[in-house]
Structure 1
Amino acid sequence: MSPGPHPDDALVLGPLLRHVDETSATVWVRTAAAATVTVERAGRAWSAPTFSVHGSHYALVVLDGLVPGSQDAYTVAVDDVAVWPLQGAPESRIRTLDPRRTTRFAFGTCRTNGSHDEAGNRAHGIDALRSLAVALRDDPATAWPDLLLLLGDQVYADTTPHAELEEFMRSRRSLDEPPGPEIKDYVEYAELYRLAWSDDVIRWVLSTVPSAMMFDDHDIRDDWNTSWSWRRDIRATTWWQERIVSGLAAYWVHQHIGNLSPAELAEEEVWRLVADHAASSAAGELDLTDVLDELATRADAEPESYRWSYTRALGDSTLVVIDSRAARDLRPDSRSMLDAGELDWLDGVLRGGSRHVLIGTSLPFLLPPGLHDFEAMNEAMAQGAYGRRVAHGAEKMRRHIDLEHWAAFNNGFDEVFAMVMEVARGERGAAPETVTFLSGDVHNSYLAEVADPQALGASARVVQAVCSPIRNPMPRGVRVVMSLFARSLVRPMRFIAARSRRVPDPPFRWSVTDGPWFDNNIALCHVATDALELAWVTGVVDGGPDHPRLRTVYATRIEALPSHGGTPTGVDSGSAQGDPRARNTAGVA
């Protein structure tokens, strides 16, 4: 028999607790068959029928009328049969936002799907998300996050490190034919997500901590939308169209709809079909296969026709999550990380008036300066500034070593930087204390900051916080190179870039203030009353792989500038090696 869920399990995957605000929540599940899914909490019940996509069945149950600041346990039933919590497992709670409570959240990217035994840990390192989940389950002193923000590579569609996934794929087709041991279609995507989220501890934490997500390249394929020529070449293959349509449809089901509030769901074009079908009491389950395939085809061909980006309120802070993959303008004469429609949307939502403006983008906006200059030079060469032969070599280099971050899309970089500085100067509403980018992708973690913002007329600090990977460590040789770009190569690369009229100079200066670190990490953020507190934590196994504990790699406080009326300028920070305070994870996050 092919691997997969046990045939007697009515609940195949989930529940995942997704959007939660003060008075509402959404709960996502995948079921074994068409059914009605019911969520009960605090004496009330909410139900939704499943919809199907390529033979799999899903429901997103919307809970309304909740009490702010409440934290009650909930249960899930499928056709009136209780399926959650599992026997012997801890209960799951829905903890609504409380305007009187300071906000806490966790974020990170890049989590490979491997076993959690000694062999899996040797290959992939200890899973930082799973380590956080164990701490939340077992240690009452661990501070509870209001949100888990996963900013890319939740699944790896282009690699199959999981033996069970490979067995599933081999049971359906030959891996000697394209695309080989990569995900081929929606059915394989559904199995990939199931395996990624099925570990008991991961499944529990996703059921009880609200999550927000955004794709990056490996959710579809490495180097996705790197350049116009990459897109041309990949479209010439026999298998790409099925991959991109399946990947985007699977993303819509497993990640995107859970990012949206109930009000936003009511306006979403496909979800309206789900809601209308449920309200009509029509017989049979709604099959969204054709509708989602058509949406995915259109969204890939015409990126401006569908938006994956979104915003979310987090207490007195605002989170803006940007799609920096599907919304690119790849035309050689107008390359931009964000196309015109996406830039217009960002221009409309990027406003002050919050204590902190948090911008989630899978790719770091502020790379280490040496790497930024290197990618900017590569873009100029690849775009033909130094002739056709150089352009060909530069394009090969761009794809081979992933030179495709914001620095390699200079037009969009400059436009977004200008918006951010307007927010920091108070030109888009009252200036926040910080504008903080939250990113991953690069398989190392660091903190960067725009230099001397007050000299630029800003009263907010502009910060880049990067946390990557959750579980996918960088090879040791590459770690050396990344450290050089963050430190020793900054001046040489700036010297070279500044002397080329074809390489644009960044409009503002910044530097890496802390890092890089190369542990498997997840970052914890606390919007404290007097600062933005950040800590990067990793998993340590000294009591067996089933009982990892958290160790703080680095902790810092980002305080408001004096011109903002806050505490004096400065970052009080300490490493886990030198400051005992940094070891108290519950205290810093």
Structure 2
Amino acid sequence: METLLVLGPMVRHVDGDSAAIWVETAAAGVVTVRLPGRDGEQGWRAPTFGVHGHHYALVEVTGLHPGERSAYQVLLDDQVVWPQPADPFPAPHLATSPPGGPVRLAFGSCRTSVPHDLVHETSHGVDALRTYALSLRAGEPGPLGVEPDLLLLLGDQVYADSTSAAMREFIASRRSLQEEPGAELADYEEYAHLYQLAWTEPPLRWLFSWLPSLMIFDDHDIRDDWNTSLAWREEMEQTSWWHGRVVAGLGSYWVYQHLGNLSVSARAGDPLWHELQRRQAEHPGREVDLTDAVDAFAERADRDPLSYRWSYTHPLGGSSHLVVVDSRAARNLDPEHRAMLDEAEMSWLDEQLTGDVEHLVIGTSLPYLLPRGIHHLEAWDEAVVAGAWGPRWRRPGEWLRQELDLEHWAAFHASFERVAAMVTEVADGRRGTAPASVVFLSGDVHHSYITEVVRTGGSRILQLVCSPVRNPMPVVMRAAFALVAHGIARPLGAALARSARVPDPPLRWRDVAGPWFDNNIAVLDIEGQDLRTVWLGGRRVPGIDDEPQLVLVADIELDVPPVGSSTHPARARVHPDDRSRVRPRAARALGVAALSLAAYAWWRRSR
């Protein structure tokens, strides 16, 4: 029975009256989601669809009630496949969004899928998400005292370019590792296996079976530095394998991640889902093969980013709003019109960033507000590549951009300024009633921190970054990062930016808490106008291999004052045993600047 369900069930988009349940099955069939205690075992059915020999179904459970909580079962051809007999984990449940009240949003990014033994925990650390799942199973949800309502995964759910021993073994069973792209992923079959490695861990499978999840990709879901620049793109297109990689990566992303992000109405307007419905109507009760449509869709989405939107929105508790932004595939790489978001995507974002909500939450895999030293460095490098220091510096600037991953929002200065204008108008009450806060949630940078825009009134603007879930920056590199972010790079970066005639950023921001470098999962608690966030990690318990201990890294109350107040206090409680923090003063020795920069560049390329 266990082999009938390859992956899932995964509870994906949930609102007040519907829920999406996603599964991968071992064979074609009809998948039913049944609520045994409701209306005489009411069920919702969907036939599987095939992609490259794999079988999937997404069942839309509709007609539910706000705040409803029900146990459920998954059946394949009328045989119960979940929950499984003698499952040590609690039975899964569906819980729709309540009409109001607190919202607890867990979030994080960057999770590698390697074993949980001492050897791999030495190199990759304790898996924070798995540890959190085990703690929730034991009825210990951490300092907030309640389980989360939603999980937001902000990129690098899988690593297509930095594979584990298990993934390399699978690749070697199909082709030689000596042929391109070597140990990196080449096609859809390898992506499917990578997702199985990432999502079959029993505690995570249980967590996904009841906790609604939303996702967005980042570069490693496709490849490191994905769409960094036109030069990077042209280099990739000269390889023999890039076209197959990006088609497989985007196609599998739509199947495994993006399809479940959408509401019932948004999914109905999705062109690929519409094509699936059309084919199923022509062949009722039978599995249809969507392989050709998925491949054609992915190829078109890569070639013409305007043809599809990966960004989406999601209501939070009825009074707050989440906007999740694609900061990878929607880029305009034309040096004359370089932008983080192409014009259509930027216009869409402009429409979404409005007031009349309690809190406006913006999810983007790449941090919008970087440490000031790195922000100046990235803005300077973009200007140098554009010719601000003359033509001879263009190539070194491009090399530096790729070596140091200088391709966040700061490296798309025009886009940074446009978004700054949007959020400022929201916070000032010029796009409807000002929310209590505008909060950016991000990942990517392998450390966690909180920053705040310095303002004298209006809504509070914050940036919360949680990264990694499991892929920590080595200890020897943390001092290098602190140097780049906070040490000599801050005044040096500002001077370099001025030398390239880069305008000062339209926002000023300050550090509130962090940085923390170990594996973490963060939880943002929204209750009325009040915000509280905790960072949680895992620690191996001596003598116990499979049950790491959940530890509190930081507990921060972000008191939101009345709109118009100039007082923005934040009370931060950092766990006394936290050893993951490197303070800026640790890297102020100018004599190690060159060595640290070189070491950091080497690490970024090797990951």
TM-score by length of structure 1 reads 0.93
Q: Report deviation, 1:113.
A: 0.7
- Which residue of structure 2 aligns with residue 492 of structure 1? 491
Structure 2 residue matching 1:546: 3-state secondary structure: strand
- Deviation digits for residues 106-150 of structure 1 (CA, Å, limit 9, x no counterpart): 000000010012222112100000011011111255421111000
Q: 1:309-458 residue pairs with structure 2 within 5 A?
A: 309-315=311-317, 316-451=319-454, 453-454=455-456, 458=457
**SS across alignment from 1:14:** strand
Aligned counterpart, 1:36: 30
Partner Cα separation in structure 2 for residue 296 and residue 140 of structure 1: 42
Q: 2:359 touches 2:436 (CA, 8 Å); kept in 1?
A: yes
Q: More displaced, 467-476 or 164-173?
A: 164-173
- How many correspondences in the alignment? 567
| Aligned 8 A contact 1:382 1:395 in 2 | yes
CA distance in 1, matches of 2:256, 2:175: 24
Structure 1 Cα separation of the partners of residues 498 and 244 of structure 2 = 45
What residue identity is the alignment partner of 1:251? Y
Alignment of 1:550-569 (within 5 A): 550-564=550-564, 569=568
Q: Secondary structure at the match of 1:225?
A: coil
RMSD: 1.7
Which 4+ runs in 1 deviate beyond 4 A? none
1:70 corresponds to which residue? 68
Alignment-mate amino acid for residue 476 of structure 2: G
Q: What is the letter of the counterpart of residue 462 of structure 1?
A: I
Comparing 328-337 and 267-276, the one that deviates more: 267-276
Q: How far off is 1:494 after superposition?
A: 5.2
Contact kept, 8 Å, 1:110 with 1:443, in 2: the verdict is: yes
CA contact (8 A) 1:334 1:411 kept: no
Q: Deviations over 1:337-362 (max 9, x none)?
A: 00001001001111111111000000
- Match of 2:519, SS? coil
Could you say which residue in structure 2 is the equivalent of 1:47?
A: 45
Distance in 1 separating the partners of 2:194 and 2:63: 35
1:144 alignment partner, one of 140, 143, 147: 147
Whether the aligned pair in 2 keeps the contact of 1:446 and 1:467 (CA below 8 Å) is: yes
Report if aligned partners of 1:368, 1:485 keep a CA contact under 8 Å in 2: no
Q: Is the 8 A contact 2:373 2:494 kept in 1?
A: no
In structure 1, what is the equivalent of residue 569 of structure 2?
Answer: 570
Secondary structure of the 2:295 match is: helix
| Residues 170/432 of structure 1: CA separation in 2 closer, same or farther (3 Å cut) | same
Structure 1 residue 513: deviation in Å?
2.0
Secondary structure in structure 2 of the residue aligned to 1:208? coil
Equivalent pair of 2:388/2:500 in contact (CA under 8 Å): no
**Aligned AA for 1:10?**
L
CA apart distance, 1:486 = 4.1
- Aligned-residue offset at 1:546: 1.5
SS at 2:33 equivalent: strand
Matches of 1:495 and 1:172, distance apart in 2: 51
Identity across matched positions, percent: 50
Residue-by-residue CA offset, 1:216-272 (whole Å, 9 max, x unaligned): 000000000000000001001000000000000000000000000011111111111
- Aligned counterpart, 2:18: 24
Q: Hey, what's the Cα distance between the residues in 2 that align with 1:140 and 1:193? A: 28
Kindly provide the CA deviation profile for residues 191-232 of structure 1, in whole angstroms up to 9, marking residues without a partner as x. Answer: 000110001111110111000000000000000000000000
Contact 1:336/1:409 (8 A) holds in 2:
yes
Shift in Å, 1:530: 4.2
Matched residue SS, 2:533 = strand
- Say yes or no: does 1:520 pair with 2:519: yes
| TM-superposed deviation, 1:281 | 5.0
From 198, 223, 229, give the equivalent of 1:221. 223
Out of 148, 163, 172, the residue aligned to residue 160 of structure 1 is 163
Q: 2:458 matched to 1:459?
A: yes
1:48-103 CA distances to partner (integer Å, 9 max, x unpaired)?
A: 00001111010000000112112111111111111111222221111111123311
Deviations 1:179-202 (A, max 9, x none): 000000001000000110001111
Q: Is the CA contact 1:102–1:526 (under 8 Å) kept in the aligned structure 2?
A: yes
Which position in structure 2 is the counterpart of 1:120?
A: 120
Asked if structure 1 preserves the Cα contact closer than 8 Å seen for 2:522 and 2:534, the reply is yes
What is the distance in 2 between the residues matched to 1:379 and 1:305?
Answer: 27
Deviation at 1:367, TM superposition (A): 0.2
Gap regions ≥5 residues in structure 2: 579-607
| Counterpart in the other structure of 2:83 | 85
Instruction: State the AA in 2 paired with 1:26.
Output: A
Distance in 1, matches of 2:237 and 2:313, equals 32
Q: 2:191 aligns with which of 189, 202, 212?
A: 189
Which shifted more, 79-88 or 439-448?
A: 79-88
SS of residue paired to 1:241 = helix
SS at match of 2:203: helix
- Counterpart residue number, 1:585: none
Cα distance per residue 1:264-285 (max 9 Å; x no partner): 1111111112233444553632
